[in-house]
Amino acid sequence: MNINAAQNNPFQNDLEYRGFLASPLVGSAIGLSIYMDGVRINEGFGDTINWDLIPQAAISSVDLIPGSNPLFGLNTLGGAIALRTKSGFAYQGTEVEASGGSFGRWAVEAEHGGYHGGFDWYLTFNALDEDGWRDESPSEIRQLFGKIGWEDDQTDLDLSYIFADNALTGNGFAPESLLAHDRDAVHSFPDDTDNHLNFLNLRASHAFTDALLLAGNAYYREYQRDTLNGDAEVQCVDEDDSALALGLCEGSAAPFGGVGELEFEVEGEDRTTETDTDGYGGTLQLSHQAKFFGRANSVTFGFAYDGNETDFTQSEAEAELFRKGLARGTRRVGELETEVDVATRQDNWGVYLTDTFDVTEALALTFSGRYQITEVEIRDQTGDPENADLNGDHHFDRFNPAGGLTYSIFEDLNLFGGYSESFRAPTPAELTCADPEDPCNLPNAFVADPPLDPVIGRTWEAGARGRLPLGEDLRWRMAFYRTTLEDDLIFAVTETGGAGFFRNIDETRRQGVELGLNGQWESVHWSVNYGFVDATYESAETLASVVEPDGIQVQEGDSIPGIPEHNLKAGVDWAILPKWSVGGTLIYAADQFLRGDDSNELDTVDDYAIVNLRTRFHPWEHVEVWARIDNLFDSDYETGGTRNFNAFADPIAEERFLAPGAPRAGWVGVKLRF
């Protein structure tokens, strides 16, 4: 996996796996599904994932399921991540932790769990404040997770609740020339996001016999997102004030207006959005394990429903630009005017089946399939007759198959392979932002748009895993994969403030290799993981561009920007003494093409490597002291970049906008256990 800190906020990172993203940013090419205790927590409006709404202290395990596995439903194009939370049966006791350090960050965390007879309970709370390492970048996190449960020999019940109320600032990319003066500087501000969540999840299972199990869940999510963005908008206009392609004006001689028949115009804008989503749904599945023709066979049949209703409002006001240090802020001078007010509803039904049959003691075959139906309803709430065409009903359905096998040559060597399909239906945010003649400031403007097709993912995978007779426990894994996407969805940026539109392109491909090795030698645990990703366009396309008047001419075989070909992560932990351990991690990511350089003609964003250190010490039985240093050697690096015009340059011109990596930072903490 690769972490892309495009927003420069630790709670707004992009997670990239095999060239697919899980991101909080609407407009990202989402291709990963995230599940928590059986509930898909990608947001219904834009399929995004809000990492700040996941209480990390409550997570007991994380499973990564690679490939286009249809059992995980919508948008599992590149893989799925399944999170499981703690319970009182698995965690007993009380812990309180306080920590602080760089960037003005302080945090307090507490958790408590236990059980009595068949009843169990677990509770955790987390509060974190920080100023952020870049200018004008404070954040505040408040999270609460609780779970109660009951179980006996046949039945298991769990009811969990998550509350989150967070204020995040992520100022994102900045011009390369600005970062050369001050890597803490931001291009424009504010860029604020407030996330609020109430999430209830009821899970139950009952074993009728040792072979027959009925399980299910029902959930409700109330999610609210408010944003405030201050932007500097650049326009290229002629003598009649008609807007033209920005590339035609490049080279204007003045930062706030140009000379000649064409000129740049720069003005400030404040944009606010309100997104209110009610999500609900559930699953019900029956599993049976028995002998079939004398061989073990496991079959599961299930039904899933996920629905959501969203009210989205976007408003805009004229603002003046002012200087604060090297950055520009916006100060509202006009009244907010509501430009968009829509209500959307999305219904997803799925019926799935999977069967695993042991052909021999060494060979097992698995066949799976899921029939998925998605319906999206969009209704304008302004009452303006000009917006009547925005109303629409969209229907998508498809059966997605999968098949695979595992073969154990001997106890410590296992081969595996398979084929799978999945699909991603366009989200309401995408369906209402697909007109190249009327670009959207994501997700800030919606229009009546051309229809979009669903994305079809097809994955082939083969590999091997096993254990080597070296050291105490040396395990290895290798996998080769190829995922082809038909009618892939991309967001083409056409304006400096990020406006653009969604469109289908014929075909893209992501293929590569994964290698992993981990082991133990006495008191030393270590691991090395390497990934190679070749992500390419597989059809010739003309993509809209913010800087190229005639668009970008993409050829078959061009690399998809923003995806490093090589990723390496190596870690080691050494228990020097029974009460003291030290560890470190090396992270390397190869260079990558700028977003907006889809034809691969410009210099890439440089590769980078950083080293992080950590240590833990137990001076007494119930006390733990820890310390952590990130970016030990204080390396200057960037995790990504994009093409854009620098509104504050003289003359205004295209420039590389980069996402700087955080400098060296350290934190210390104390944990008490009872």
**Mean per-residue pLDDT for 226-238?**
81
Give me the residues paired with residue 591 across strands: none
The first and second tokens of residue 592, run together, are 């990558």
The residue range of the domain holding 134 is 2-673
**Mean per-residue pLDDT for 239-253?**
60
**Mean per-residue pLDDT for 179-188?**
92
Q: Confidence class of residue 239 from pLDDT cuts 50, 70 and 90?
A: low
Residue-level pLDDT at 580: 96
Residue-level pLDDT at 194: 97
Share of the chain above pLDDT 90, in %: 65
Residue-level pLDDT at 152: 94
Q: Confidence class of residue 247 from pLDDT cuts 50, 70 and 90?
A: low
Residue-level pLDDT at 411: 85
Residue-level pLDDT at 260: 46
State the DSSP code for 252: -
**Mean per-residue pLDDT for 318-341?**
86
Residue 448, pLDDT > 50, answer no
Is residue 517 exposed (0-12), middle (13-18) or buried (19+ Cβ within 10 Å)? middle
Instruction: Output the domain CATH number for residue 396.
Output: 2.40.170.20
Sheet holding 20-22, edge to edge: 2-4, 14-17, 20-22
Residue 632, pLDDT > 80, answer yes
Is residue 63 exposed (0-12), middle (13-18) or buried (19+ Cβ within 10 Å)? exposed
Lowest mean per-residue pLDDT among 100-109, 158-167, 383-392, 603-612:
383-392
Q: Confidence class of residue 263 from pLDDT cuts 50, 70 and 90?
A: low
Measured in whole angstroms, the distance separating CA 592 from the mean position of its chain's CA atoms is: 19
Residue 98, pLDDT > 60, answer yes
Q: How far apart are CA 376 and CA 394, in angstroms?
A: 5
Lowest mean per-residue pLDDT among 27-31, 86-90, 258-262, 406-410:
258-262
- The more confident residue out of 501 and 121 is 121
Residue-level pLDDT at 171: 81
Residue-level pLDDT at 444: 35
**Mean per-residue pLDDT for 379-402?**
85
Query: How many domains is the chain built from?
Result: 1
DSSP per position, 186-204: -SEE-EEEEEEEEEEEEEE
Measured in whole angstroms, the distance separating CA 5 from the mean position of its chain's CA atoms is: 11
pLDDT digits (tens, 9 = 90+) for 492-529: 655 545 556 778 889 999 999 999 999 998 899 999 99
Other Cβ atoms less than 10 A from the Cβ of 273: the count is 22
Residue 505: partners with Cβ closer than 8 Å, 6 or more residues away: 487, 488, 490, 537, 539, 541, 543
Q: Confidence class of residue 49 from pLDDT cuts 50, 70 and 90?
A: very high
Q: How far apart are CA 118 and CA 137, in angstroms?
A: 47
Other Cβ atoms less than 10 A from the Cβ of 595: the count is 20
Residue 131, pLDDT > 80, answer yes
Contact 549, 528 (CB under 8 A): no
Out of 188-202, 233-247, 254-268, the most confident range is 188-202
- Radius of gyration of the chain from its Cα atoms, rounded to whole angstroms: 26
Lowest mean per-residue pLDDT among 85-94, 200-209, 213-222, 376-385:
376-385
Q: Is the pTM of this model over 0.85?
A: yes
**Mean per-residue pLDDT for 147-161?**
97
SS3 sequence, 630-674?
A: ECCCCCCCEEEEEEEECCCCCCCCEEEEEEECCCCEEEEEEEEEC
Phi and psi angles of residue 285, each rounded to the nearest 5 degrees, phi first: -140, 150
Residue 332: partners with Cβ closer than 8 Å, 6 or more residues away: 270, 317, 318, 319
Q: Confidence class of residue 442 from pLDDT cuts 50, 70 and 90?
A: very low
Mean pLDDT of the chain: 89
Share of the chain above pLDDT 70, in %: 91
